[in-house]
Structure 1
Amino acid sequence: MRATGRLHLGHYHGVLKNWARLQHEYECFFFVADWHGLTTEYEDPHGIQGHVWDLVTDWLAAGVNPGSATLFIQSQVPEHAELHLLLSMMTPLSWLERVPTYKDQQEKLREKDLSTYGFLGYPLLQAADILIYRAGQVPVGADQVAHVELTREVARRFNHLYGREPGFEEAVTAAIKKMGKKQARIYADNRRKYQEQGDESALEAARALVQNQQNITLGDKERLNGDLEGGGKVILPEPQSLLTPASKMPGLDGQKMSKSYGNFISLREEPDDVDAKIRRMPTDPARVRRSDPGTPEKCPVWEFHKVYSDERTRQWVQEGCTSAGIGCLECKKPVIEAVQAELEPIRRRAEDHLRNPDLVRTIVSEGCEEAREVARATLDEVRSVMGLQYR
């Protein structure tokens, strides 16, 4: 997540609740993308450092647990930058120019000079962010699927260029022997069925067979998987998009909740400010007077009810609004109570962390070390296959 300051309810419902769930299902790496922030804010970077700590504090307050996931800062793991550099040597320029968001963002941010290599190359830095951890799944919204697909293409090209290490065929033969005669025969039969007949079920059976082998190394497994498809060793696995459900959290004016629109409620919003913001929310313009009936579907408050209210409350709103049986302030009261109830534990946890900033820095420092350990292992292999290992 880019370092843009404190987070709001849109971030919570769109990303953080999902992260809090995923951390118990996968080995997760969550990082503050401060280098990515520089791609558009390079002329005025002074706020980024403060934004980083705001972001991490909000993550922790929202339930992201450093005991279940690795939390770190992108720029504190320099292996990201080196892998980005190495990938840039073999990534065609045209691949970056065709990324859908490249021209879109230039149009939206016309006031900024984005004719920089950093802005053009940020999708490749994103690819390095993913590939350095050999990630299997990347939680993204629908608008980011194209970036994951670029990452897959970069990994595929890298493996094609560098996956055939010296002595690859001999290493594959040795790995097959380690499987034992029966398993080796099954592997060979399935490989032949896939390579000669395109039998996808044979490919899956061979992959499963390799994965279940207990007496061969991870490197041997990668070589055998590469051999199955007629390629080489899979050095950088191709990640898959793990689609994040679209956020149903609207802004206070009915648009998407966004700081740029000024229609947000932050995760650490003071209770009185939450109350005041929701009370000032616009409602159905047809309800000029208390006695005027309205249409909930034309009112931004109804969108909040769809997020926070149960069926009984929504029925009460429908009947009361369309008959003018309830006023707009009455309608807003259950929303205020539900938002306050959701934010209260988040505010409390955030306050605990704000009182103990050293703990937050320790969490991030330890996360950076954990991330670097994984990243170094990947980079060692990348350097080796690119002929850059001098030990």
Structure 2
Amino acid sequence: MERPRTVSGMRPTGPLHLGHYFGVLKNYVALQHTEDAFFFVADWHALTSDYADPSRVRENINEMVKDWVAAGLDPAQCVIFRQSSVKEHAELSLLLSMITPVSWLERNPTYKEQQQQITNKDLGNAGFLCYPVLMAADILMYRPHGVPVGEDQLPHMELTREIARRFNYLYGETTFPEPEAMLTPAAKCPGLDGRKMSKSYNNGIFLRDTMADVEPKVKTMFTDKNRLRKSDPGNPDVCNLFPYHVLLASKEEQDEIREGCTHATMGCVECKQRFLKHIAEFLGPLQERRRALTDAAVQDILADGNERARAFAQTTMDMVRQRMGL
């Protein structure tokens, strides 16, 4: 039987951190075993905001694919490809832009929010405004039943569904299924300073960090700000470190840490030492797989994935052109 199909992508804008792994990559790894999965490096999307300085894009593409494969993505189980190498994405984006009202793009809450919050870049370009149309093309090209996303991407998913619905209405046939959002279970990965973990804040633990990089980060990591001494009872529910025990430690050890923290029998230093042990166990095998990947191996993975993605994309575009009278 034909398996259900899914697609998702990530922008190559810098190193991936624990938040990316637990929030996105872990789900990708699981989906490759149950779906016909297409995962792409969204390099065109990176240019919508970083067009002024694209000097790191190529390097970031290689490094991102290494992180993906090291985290468990298997090129034999899924299709890993580069967006810009499948030119059909650009053609479908152009054709979908013909039927997408500008008002749909301007009302997008993500567009409005980023225009207000990102003040160090000029986001007045057409590419940034049309970002959701390109995203819709990326998704609809593979006619998936669902797309793994976080809650922040729900407005984009709804717009993708509206564009699919409008195309089907205008051209009389169900060319595109309306894909459902496959919400990724929220994984709380706060940054080392208590803010959201982010590449731009440089407050994360990255998948390529050595333990020599990680240890000083963890030693200065915020915990419970109200716990000044070991003898002060703590509250794991407001601690910046405890969410990582939830992700990496057994349930029994989590209960032990909670008990020790709330009754002041375990200090933050010991708590951090336990986290360092678990992060070393997590990163060790991942980085061993990463070291085995050469740039040449990455290019082979992408070349094969590009060919497989392009073959599927061509069948979609044959239908689209026919139905649009081209």
Q: Which position in structure 2 is the counterpart of 1:16?
A: 25
Q: Structure 2: 5+ residue runs without aligned partners? A: 1-9
Q: Which position in structure 1 is the counterpart of 2:262?
A: 322
- Paired with 2:262 and 2:223, the residues of 1 have a C-alpha distance of 13
Shift of 1:288: 3.1
Q: Which amino acid aligns with 2:111?
A: Y
Q: Which position in structure 2 is the counterpart of 1:384?
A: 322
- Paired with 1:148 and 1:284, the residues of 2 have a C-alpha distance of 37
**Does 2:17 match 1:39?**
no
Residue aligned with 2:81, SS: strand
TM normalised by structure 1 equals 0.78
- Paired with 1:89 and 1:132, the residues of 2 have a C-alpha distance of 16
Q: Deviations over 1:203-246 (max 9, x none)?
A: xxxxxxxxxxxxxxxxxxxxxxxxxxxxxx21222211111111
Shift of 1:298: 3.5
Q: Deviations over 1:323-369 (max 9, x none)?
A: 4323221121211111111111110011000xx22111011011001
Q: Deviations over 1:113-158 (max 9, x none)?
A: 1111101101000001111111221111111122111111111111
**Does 2:281 match 1:272?**
no
Distance 1:146 1:292, change over 3 A: closer
Distance 1:376 1:279, change over 3 A: same
Q: Deviations over 1:252-272 (max 9, x none)?
A: 233322122222111111012
Of residues 92, 114, 122, the one that matches 1:83 is: 92
Q: Deviations over 1:90-121 (max 9, x none)?
A: 11111111111111110111221111110110
CA contact (8 A) 2:89 2:141 kept: yes
CA contact (8 A) 1:284 1:298 kept: yes
- Paired with 2:138 and 2:253, the residues of 1 have a C-alpha distance of 44
**Does 2:68 match 1:130?**
no
**Does 2:301 match 1:363?**
yes
Q: Please list, as runs of the form range in 1=range in 2, the aligned pairs for 1:202-281 lying within 5 A after superposition.
A: 233-281=173-221
Distance 1:329 1:374, change over 3 A: same
Q: Which position in structure 1 is the counterpart of 2:111?
A: 102
Distance 1:294 1:90, change over 3 A: closer
Q: Which position in structure 1 is the counterpart of 2:7?
A: none
CA contact (8 A) 1:274 1:340 kept: no
Shift of 1:322: 3.4
- Paired with 2:178 and 2:254, the residues of 1 have a C-alpha distance of 45
- Paired with 2:233 and 2:181, the residues of 1 have a C-alpha distance of 46
Shift of 1:292: 3.7
**Does 2:35 match 1:26?**
yes
Q: CA RMSD in A?
A: 1.5
Shift of 1:250: 2.2
- Paired with 2:263 and 2:90, the residues of 1 have a C-alpha distance of 61
- Paired with 2:325 and 2:235, the residues of 1 have a C-alpha distance of 68
Residue aligned with 2:38, SS: strand
- Paired with 1:38 and 1:341, the residues of 2 have a C-alpha distance of 36
Distance 1:237 1:329, change over 3 A: same
Q: Which position in structure 1 is the counterpart of 2:311?
A: 373
Distance 1:120 1:349, change over 3 A: same
Of residues 147, 151, 157, the one that matches 2:166 is: 157
Q: Which amino acid aligns with 1:339?
A: I
Q: Please list, as runs of the form range in 1=range in 2, the aligned pairs for 1:308-347 lying within 5 A after superposition.
A: 308-347=248-287
Alignment size in residue pairs = 317
Residue aligned with 2:200, SS: helix
- Paired with 1:319 and 1:131, the residues of 2 have a C-alpha distance of 49
Distance 1:284 1:160, change over 3 A: closer
CA contact (8 A) 1:97 1:120 kept: yes
Distance 1:79 1:322, change over 3 A: same
Q: Which position in structure 1 is the counterpart of 2:120?
A: 111
TM normalised by structure 2 equals 0.93
Which 10-residue stretch deviates more, 273-282 or 341-350? Answer: 273-282
- Paired with 2:175 and 2:263, the residues of 1 have a C-alpha distance of 65
Q: Structure 1: 5+ residue runs without aligned partners? A: 164-232
Q: Which amino acid aligns with 2:306?
A: C
Q: Which amino acid aligns with 2:67?
A: D
- Paired with 2:114 and 2:128, the residues of 1 have a C-alpha distance of 10
Which 10-residue stretch deviates more, 28-37 or 331-340? Answer: 331-340
Q: Which amino acid aligns with 2:207?
A: L
Structure showing greater Rg: 1
CA contact (8 A) 1:254 1:303 kept: no
CA contact (8 A) 1:100 1:146 kept: yes
Residue aligned with 1:348, SS: helix
Hey, which of these two has a bigger chunk of helix by percent?
1
Of residues 73, 81, 93, the one that matches 1:72 is: 81
Residue aligned with 2:241, SS: helix
